[in-house]
Structure 1
Amino acid sequence: MQMLLHANSLLLAPTTSRLSASASSLPGRSGTARPLPPPQGHAHSARAAARGTRRPPAVAAASPRTPMAVGEECAAAVASQGFVSDARAYWVTRSLIAWNVNDQDTSLFLYASRDATMHVSDGAIHGYDSKIELEPEHASLPDNVAEKFPFIRSYRTFRVPSSVDVASLVKCQLAVASYDAHGRHQDVTGLQLPGVLDDMFAYTGPLGAVFSDKDVDLYLWAPTAQDVRVCFYDGPAGPLLQTVQLKELNGVWSVTVPRYRENQYYLYEVKVYHPSTSQVEKCLADDPYARGLSANGTRTWLVDINSETLKPASWDELSDEKPNLESFSDISIYELHIRDFSAHDSTVDCNSRGGFRAFTFQDSAGIRHLRKLSAAGLTHVHLLPSFHFASVDDNKSNWKFVDEAQLAKLPPGSDEQQAAIVSIQQEDPYNWGYDPVLWGVPKGSYASNPDGPSRIIEYRQMVQALNRIGLRVVMDVVYNHLDSSGPFGVSSVLDKIVPGYYLRRNVNGQIESSAAMNNTASEHFMVDRLIVDDLLNWAINYKVDGFRFDLMGHIMKSTMIRAKSAIRSLTRDVHGVDGSKIYLYGEGWDFGEVAQNKRGINASQINMSGTGIGSFNDRIRDSVNGGNPFGNPLQQGFSTGLFLEPNGYYQGNEADTRRELATYADHIQIGLAGNLKDYVLRTHTGEAKKGSDIYTFDGSPVGYTSSPVETINYVSAHDNETLFDIVSIKTPIGLSIDEKCRINHLASSMIALSQGIPFFHAGDEILRSKSLDRDSYNSGDWFNKIKPRLENPSFRPSKNHILSVFDNFVDILKIRYSSPLFRLSTASDIEQRVRFHNTGPSMVPGVIVMSIKDAQNEKCEMAQLDKNFSYVVTIFNVCPHEVSIEIHDLASLGLELHPIQVNSSDALVRQSAYEASKGRFTVPRRTTAVFVQLRC
């Protein structure tokens, strides 16, 4: 990461009437609006709607991926074969089939064909091997089944005769047909099988490759497969060496092969009925529990992940070197894309830029920057997806690049840069990586060699290097969807092995795509198991220190709880890892088919209260910035000038905007108090309310956590605009760059000094801009640089601006870590110690006054936490002018400006003052001032 800000070359400043601009007409944006999730709770805040519709506003995809599952053939093709294209019936247990039929006299028959020869003609089913009459239950689902399938609770159930060989039937092409009381055919449909597969074949034994001294055992869960073989190959691209037959026992196929197979490459050949083609297919698939791959995952590398040859020096002792972490409340997170970090860093060897090895160059510009943040207190680096994903070719020889020297000569407002990127963006080395193929193997494009051991060794070296500069590593995991499905594509794996099981389907049998495409179904036992097993793989084998769950709300709460329990069980003595120090958090947005617990209790923000698992807090984000990511981008918020310095966009009259500013202040104060649902605040109306009784503008409770470690407070992330772009677009057009810098820092300081877990997007501390590109997932290295080349000089920060903002960011981190009072670990501590003083109807607009009290003497009713300070008062003044405010409750204290701010390079913050006799605080414009009472 070059530590001079260098973001993009598109316009940040419009050349015409900005104040009346709509979102679609803003410079650097596509004119096509982004699809939004349904407005349920905070669903509108979901990641850029769905990943299947993701496109960069500044760089439009040449051929955007549609929400249709990749590799899944359309229904028309299936229908042309003369068989049903839907699956509206559910085989929910070994003995029960459910279907939404209303006529109580309806009879049901189950049809099966092992060779998939069934077809419908003249209202009758032909080509079946067996026809079984089902006994009507005349009742809806039993309670235990309805709990697993709440969305079909009202369906009628039919009993499968006990004499039926269900284990054989699930390997067949299946259909159920309904007939009326006179035997006339009514309807026919396919079946969804996850319920019966879980009931009969849920498995907790070994999977993947298990190594012993002389042999390797291979295990594959594939209960619907008719046959499974393993194909061994000579190298990552060499010829077939041998095909070996596997044997099945209770849905698990296995074989023992000699240890000399180690380091060979293999694929499973699975003969299985596939509903997307209505045919029995022979699918070649990677091992779902692969621990090594060839380039692009074309073959699985048979590797013992515990081999000494794969370990960097002192790898087994890394647990002794882990940075200290007393409590999750001590965490702060810095979100970083692996390629962004070093792709343009000339201080990194050219062959290592943009990959795992770049983090091992201890004197590089990027590492020096991270070391400064670590020294200030930063604890965790969150890396965007680094597992095997589909969108970047692992073979570097196939990559295409733009001529950046030529692009640099173009005017910043030119369209030519965008056109150049679009022309190669499907073949360049850049993507965020939210298109998973195999979760358990590092991404080959980030390794020096995608074949063999390099990706494993270099990932471990990266974790080790970051740990050694005081930073723990968070892995971004994407368990909510897969890149591909169907029986053919290389990037389809799970759906080749047990078709229709791993992916969540709607009531017609089509794959759900609200998470982008190919939504996974963690409510199914073996999906839940695969997720937990994969987390343990990364925690144990790569010593990852935390996990960020993409679209966590699309995962079941029970899966998250089981994951937490499994990780917490890891010990240094047994596993070489202290699982009690591994933190879990994610996006708890509640939308799509899982919204409001339709598929079971999901891991949404509100549902996760009390779990100790964090979720992103969009309440504080939207209140600080204004509006929301999917509203008009000119909507102002608490820090960006609402009421105090309007930008010309109409948000109501003066009374309206003053009231909205006060409402935002309430929301922010709840966020500053850990977003606790039971924290009581005197709101701007004068009422005392719990956080859960204060509501957002769409009716969701602001406070929803039971513990401060359950909130991830943030104002920007890789999704949506950078913080500096947010500030630039929402503030008045004529506002100086100096003032924009102050607002940028103010917003960051509200996060840094909040109770809970503060989260920062890489580059916000150095005024990173992407020229309003809110979704730069495929915008290439050029548009994701961290350096400004902005056309309008009033938007372009100088080196001094960048250095000043960075110094202030470092100072505010140091202040957070100067006192445990900013990092209270329990709700009771926050409720007892944290107070807000400028509240109620007479509040001064644009000013938040927060005090945190520690034990004053030995007789105090609370425990002493801070050996240096007995009182901390933080004042956030977002006003464009100096503010003097008297807080009588804070009079006669021995407060003084924090020592770090006394020595700050910011001349304005040094002017902050406190007059004890009146409890009067004087704080300059757009300044966060921290006052402390030193212990005697």
Structure 2
Amino acid sequence: LPHSRGFWVSKEIIACDSIVEGGSCYLYGSKLATLTTAVDGEIRGFDVRVQLCVTDESLPDHVIEKFPHLKGFKVIRVPPALDIHSLVKYQLAVAIFSSEGECVHITGLQLPGVLDELFFYDGPLGAVFSSECISLYLWAPTAQEVKAFIYEEAESKEPYEVPLQESNGVWHAKGPVTWEGCYYVYEVSVYHPSTLRIEKCIANDPYAKGLSADGKRTLLVNLDSEYLKPEKWDDLSDEKPSLVSFSDTSIYELHVRDFSASDATVPADLRGGYLAFTLPNSAGIRHLRRISTAGITHIHLLPTFQFGGVDDDKRNWKNVVDFQLLESFPPDSEEQQALVSAVQNDDGYNWGYNPVLWGVPKGSYSSDPNGFPRIIEFRRMIQALNRIGLRVVLDVVYNHVYANGPYDEFSVLDKIVPGYYLRRDLDGFVEHSTCMNNTASEHSMVEQLIIDDLLHWAVNYKVDGFRFDLMGHIMKRTMLRARDELRNLSKERDGVDGSSIYMYG
């Protein structure tokens, strides 16, 4: 069953384009993912077999509006008494039979429509802190079991195991306040359509706010803690550079590492990082101060979230490029490119368009990728830029992620709810029109994650704008909602004036 050409679009409807006149249709489910078809067409390995009602109805308008690519598909009716909450955790297939009882078509199912209808959730997700406890919340309605492994330190070998309990698709666990500063990962037991197996996926929390080096583990961190705030951080909204109108906006784009990587006026251990922006007398900051005076209003930072392609631990970089050697080659030589290309996968440079976790500052730009430094240093960077008259725009990349599947260390979303967060084609394979692993903002909980992440950066890091990479791959509805949610932020309630947050893409 390598293909998923059926679409469970609501609790009542499965959409299919392979209806046989006078035929019948059955839904098959296997809890252990053992569905097979024999040579004679017999379907084996199922725990559940339910007859569905084949119709000649077209899909209703509200379904076509959400899934326009399914226009022309026919309606298969689902019995009202079916236990869908349990079935979405199974390997599922729809089989079409001829009037003679011959199986003429069998295919897997894509579930986002029914998941949105039955399991949409707008409550807390990630780690939630109170004075009495720390709670974990994970949206994973197709998971059969979820555990959290808690580690006392970034590189601790032996975790302790915490089982999570489910309520309508949201898995929850509660722990002591002493968890703060510890690390965790999830083990999600779930059917994965890319392998046709029940997999035990080890994954970070999609709502992570802190990480260990290279994103190996999620840090349990309360961003409201005073020890994470630079001096006068809570007053930064009152120090924001004046901006009368968005029409006055003038933007200067730069890369965090490029800004200071070769700046001799920056101490060697700070070059290429967040703290280079806090040095008032460096050549780079003097330049930024001059362009601010000349009329530049915003600094656009290329991606600064946790991305793949650069090791967070600088000790692992292979920076062996000899600048004198480069200069010795003729201008038309291919040797320069060959020398740089030899280390391009192991050096410290990458544009950053390889998203792994959207909500955490990139560790390679911090003085220490473990623990709290990346959070504090990112805030100090924002504060320093604002104080020289420059607002800060983040380049956000919500249209794709770096990896998919149950095994890749950089895969996160596709381990939590496989087949949901990533946009799939009519055969069930992940789309790559962005460049890799398209996300599906048409799905409600993908949109929710994007909105929550934008609000997180606006409130917790007080950023002043967002540039959306490949905005055309994000639903217009999502962008309009993002605009409205950001504009609704107020200094009195949120510590941020949302009306001054600039969006473009």
**What is the rounded CA distance, in whole Å, between the counterparts of 1:358 and 1:104 in structure 2?**
69
Unaligned 5+ segments in structure 1 are 1-83, 587-936
Counterpart of 1:511? 430
SS in 2 for 1:269: strand
Indicate yes or no: 2:482 matched with 1:543. Answer: no
- Flag the structure with larger Rg: 1
Which residue in 1 is equivalent to 2:17?
100
Matched, 1:556 2:475: yes
AA partner of residue 279 (structure 1): R
- CA distance in structure 2 between the partners assigned to 1:531 and 1:175 by the alignment: 31
Alpha-carbon displacement from aligned partner over 1:612-651 (angstroms, at most 9, x marks no partner):
xxxxxxxxxxxxxxxxxxxxxxxxxxxxxxxxxxxxxxxx
- Report what 1:781 is aligned to: none
CA distance in 1, matches of 2:217, 2:17: 42
1:206 equivalent in alignment to 2:121: no
Q: Which amino acid aligns with 1:87?
A: S
Amino acid aligned to 1:170: V
Aligned 1:252-651 pairs, distance under 5 A: 252-401=170-319, 402-586=321-505
Partner of 1:683: none
Per the alignment, in what secondary structure is the counterpart of residue 424 of structure 1?
coil
Distance 1:236 1:519 in 2: 31
Structure with greater strand percent: 2
Structure 1 counterpart SS, 2:489: coil
Structure 2 residue matching 1:411: 3-state secondary structure? coil
Letter in 2 for 1:236: A
How far apart are the structure 2 equivalents of 1:361 and 1:104? Answer: 74
Q: CA contact under 8 A between 2:18 and 2:105: conserved in structure 1?
A: no
Name the SS of the counterpart of 1:584 in structure 2: strand
Report the equivalent of 2:28. 111
Q: CA deviation at 1:295?
A: 0.7
Q: Deviations over 1:877-922 (max 9, x none)?
A: xxxxxxxxxxxxxxxxxxxxxxxxxxxxxxxxxxxxxxxxxxxxxx
Answer whether contact 2:19 2:96 (CA < 8 A) is retained: no
Contact 2:189 2:201 in 1 (8 A): yes
For 1:435 and 1:504, how far apart are their aligned partners in 2? Answer: 17
- TM-superposed CA distance for 1:102, in Å, is 4.6
Cα RMSD (Å) of the superposition? 0.9
Structure 1 CA distance for aligned equivalents of residues 245 and 43 of structure 2: 63
Which secondary structure does the structure 2 equivalent of 1:408 belong to? helix
SS in 1 for 2:147: strand
The answer to whether structure 1 residue 85 and structure 2 residue 2 are counterparts is: yes
Structure 2 CA distance, aligned partners of 1:148 and 1:407?
54
8 A contact 2:20–2:97 mirrored in 1: no
Separation in 2 of the partners of 1:283 and 1:575?
36
Note if 1:149 corresponds to 2:67: yes
TM-score computed with the length of structure 1 as normaliser: 0.53
CA distance in 1 between counterparts of 2:351 and 2:43 reads: 48
Q: Distance in 2 between matches of 1:410 and 1:369?
A: 31
Shift, 1:106, TM fit: 3.0
Partner of 1:806: none
Which residues of structure 2 form unaligned runs of 5+? none
Q: Within 1, Cα distance between the matches of 2:326 and 2:69?
A: 53
Task: For residue 537 of structure 1, give the secondary structure of its aligned residue in structure 2.
Answer: helix
2:185 aligns to what SS in structure 1? strand
Q: Distance in 1 between matches of 2:295 and 2:338?
A: 42
Residue matched to 1:237:
155
Instruction: For 1:149 and 1:343, locate their aligned partners in 2 and report how far apart those are by CA, in whole Å.
Output: 46
SS of the residue corresponding to residue 271 of structure 1 reads strand
Alpha-carbon contact 2:138-2:172 (below 8 Å) kept: yes
Contact kept, 8 Å, 2:33 with 2:91, in 1: the verdict is yes
Deviation by residue 1:812-848 (Cα, 9 ceiling, x = unmatched) = xxxxxxxxxxxxxxxxxxxxxxxxxxxxxxxxxxxxx
Displacement of 1:361 after TM fit?
1.1
Asked if structure 1 preserves the Cα contact closer than 8 Å seen for 2:140 and 2:169, the reply is: yes
Counterpart-to-counterpart distance in 2, 1:530 and 1:384: 21
Q: Secondary structure at the match of 1:104?
A: coil
Whether the aligned pair in 1 keeps the contact of 2:146 and 2:163 (CA below 8 Å) is: yes
Q: Secondary structure at the match of 1:488?
A: coil
- Secondary structure (helix, strand or coil) at the match of 1:189 reads strand
CA distance in 2, matches of 1:432, 1:499: 28
- Matched length: 503
Q: Is the 8 A contact 1:231 1:240 kept in 2?
A: no
1:436-495 superposed Cα distances (whole Å, 9 cap, x missing partner):
000000000111110001110111111111101100000000000000000011100010
SS of the residue aligned with 1:219?
strand
CA separation in 2, counterparts of 1:86 and 1:270? Answer: 23
Separation (CA, whole Å) in 2 of partners of 1:512 and 1:159: 28
Distance 2:334 2:430 in 1: 38
| 1:120 corresponds to | 37
Matches within 5 A, 1:490-889: 490-586=409-505
CA distance in 2, matches of 1:409, 1:143: 66
CA distance in 1, matches of 2:23, 2:356: 43
1:105 shift after superposition = 2.1
**Structure 2 CA distance, aligned partners of 1:325 and 1:252?**
42
1:576 is matched by which residue type in structure 2? G
Question: What amino acid is the match of 1:151?
Answer: H
CA contact (8 A) 1:515 1:554 kept: yes
Secondary structure, aligned partner of 1:168: helix
Q: CA deviation at 1:384?
A: 0.4
Match of 2:137 in 1: 219
Deviation of 1:416 after TM superposition, in Å, equals: 1.8
Distance 2:129 2:17 in 1: 48
SS at match of 2:57: coil
SS at match of 2:159: strand
Rounded Cα–Cα distance in structure 2 between residues aligned with 1:373 and 1:310:
30
For the 8 Å contact 2:19–2:54, the answer to whether it is kept is no
- Displacement after TM superposition at 1:240 (Å): 2.4
TM-superposed CA distance for 1:145, in Å, is 1.0
Q: 1:120 Cα deviation (Å)? A: 1.2
Q: Distance in 2 between matches of 1:205 and 1:547?
A: 24
Residue identity opposite 1:461 in structure 2: R
Q: Which amino acid aligns with 1:110?
A: L
| Alpha-carbon offset, residue 414 of structure 1 | 2.6
Shift, 1:208, TM fit: 0.6
| 8 Å CA contact retained: 2:20, 2:96 | no
CA-to-aligned-CA distance 1:484-521 (integer Å, 9 cap, x gap): 00001110001000000000000010100000111000
The alpha-carbon distance between structure 1 residues 102 and 120, as it changes in their structure 2 partners (threshold 3 A), is closer
- Say which is worse superposed, 98-107 or 555-564, in terms of deviation: 98-107
Q: State the 1:405 CA deviation.
A: 3.0
* Amino acid aligned to 2:426: V
5 Å-filtered alignment, 1:124-143, equals 124-143=42-61
One-letter identity of the residue aligned with 2:78: V
Aligned residue identity for 1:426: N
Q: Tell me which amino acid in the other structure corresponds to 1:574.
A: R
Q: State the secondary structure of the residue aligned to 2:81.
A: coil
Secondary structure of the equivalent of 2:95? strand
